[in-house]
Amino acid sequence: MKPRWIDFHCHLDLYREHTELIRTCELEQIAVLTMTTTPKAWRHNRDLANKYVRPALGFHPQLVAERANELALWKKLLPEARFVGEVGLDAGPKFYSSFNLQKSVFAQILQACADAGGKVLSIHSIRCAAVVLEMIEKHLPAERGTAVLHWFMGTKAEVQRAVALNCFFSVNIAMLKSLRGRELIATLPLDRILTETDGPFIEIDGRATNPVDIPTVVAALAHEKRIGVEEFAAQLVKNWTYAVGGGDNWSKY
Ligand code: MN
């Protein structure tokens, strides 16, 4: 299994044309990791998956306050999932009141993944990069799992710390809109980058982006990193192969 393009963080189940999109991704050879935001959505997403589109078992930090009781279900389903996401922490003003509860849930998620071994996680870290890295360091050493930081906006020092912890970064086109995002992307090592759309939450040309836009994301990032598009696209597939533990393993889970 060798895809042409990588979308490592997308919410395919939130599109009305969900089923058609899954088929299109296979036709276009786009490897898509599709997030679930609650463990209740897992089985439906898993059943619709195909060779290219794989589901991740998630528990979104923005939903933890109202759904803390679903953690038991998440734990129960973990043996069925190799990919985990969207999980993490959100210290933005809207969700800060649940930050302690989020930390407790995220610690248990990381610990369960470390105990199981071999999981690949897509991690949210809005306004709390340092805390997220600290928790990864404490609960999920690199030999027990792979952490992919989604839309990471930490400082230069935090990028270095994440690299030292063997994390990957899934990068989207919205990050190019701010100077801070562009400065961050400039510091990312080429062999640690994956691409994502985070659709449908990001817009391109006034409409919700979807995985078919990944070539546009790759071209924009290649330009930013001052590297040829073909060369960058090949590097991304290489990074993905490494992050998922070999392309042939991708479709098994
Ligand atoms: Mn997301």
Q: What is the predicted pLDDT for the residue at 41?
A: 96
Question: What is the reported pLDDT for 252?
Answer: 83
87 CA from centroid of ligand 1 (Å) = 9
pLDDT of residue 253: 79
Give the Å distances, CA to CA, from 85 to 11, 198, 220: 10, 12, 25
Calculate how far, in angstroms, residue 86's C-alpha sits from the geometric centre of ligand 1: 6
Q: Where are the beta strands (DSSP E) in 35-143?
A: 53-55, 83-90, 119-126
Compute, in angstroms, the gap from residue 39 CA to the centroid of ligand 1: 15
Rounded distance from Cα 147 to ligand 1 centre (Å): 15
DSSP state of 57: B
Structure pTM? 0.98
Mean pLDDT, consecutive 10-residue stretches, the chain (253 aa), reads: 97 96 98 98 94 97 96 98 98 98 98 98 98 98 98 97 98 97 97 98 96 98 98 98 95 83
Residue 107 is predicted with a pLDDT of 98
Question: How many angstroms separate the alpha carbon of residue 202 from the centre of ligand 1?
Answer: 9
Give the Cα separation of 68 and 41 in Å (integer): 15
| Cα–Cα distance measured from residue 90 to residue 211, given in angstroms and rounded to the nearest whole number | 24
Residue 10 alpha carbon to ligand 1 centre in Å: 6
227 burial type by CB count under 10 A (0-12 exposed, 13-18 middle, 19+ buried): middle
92 CA to middle of ligand 1, Å? 15
**Residue entry with tokens 């090949």:** 234
